[in-house]
Amino acid sequence: MRIEQRDDVVVINGLEISGSIQKNQKCSTCQSPIIYDDTFDSYFCASCNEWLEEACDDPHCSYCVQRPKPPLKSHG
């Protein structure tokens, strides 16, 4: 899996996501860098393709209500 940062965009195997690579934070499962996704205001691991935070319970939250699983499918 190729992951790189270009300005305010993270490119994962050619897929562009608004956000940033958290260089000092690693996934506890696979030790890959954690990515912050601006679109859904949440962190995820691209290698595991899992969100690292639970969605909130607010039915009016514009981030969490639209946040699908898995993270990379949401941008496909």
pLDDT band (50, 70, 90) for residue 75? low
Give the C-alpha separation, 4 to 46, whole Å.
Answer: 12
Residue 64 is encoded by which pair of tokens? 């969490």
pLDDT at site 68:
82
Contact predicate 70/50, CB 8 Å: yes
Residue pLDDT, tens place only, 25-74: 999 999 999 999 999 999 999 999 999 999 999 999 999 988 888 999 75
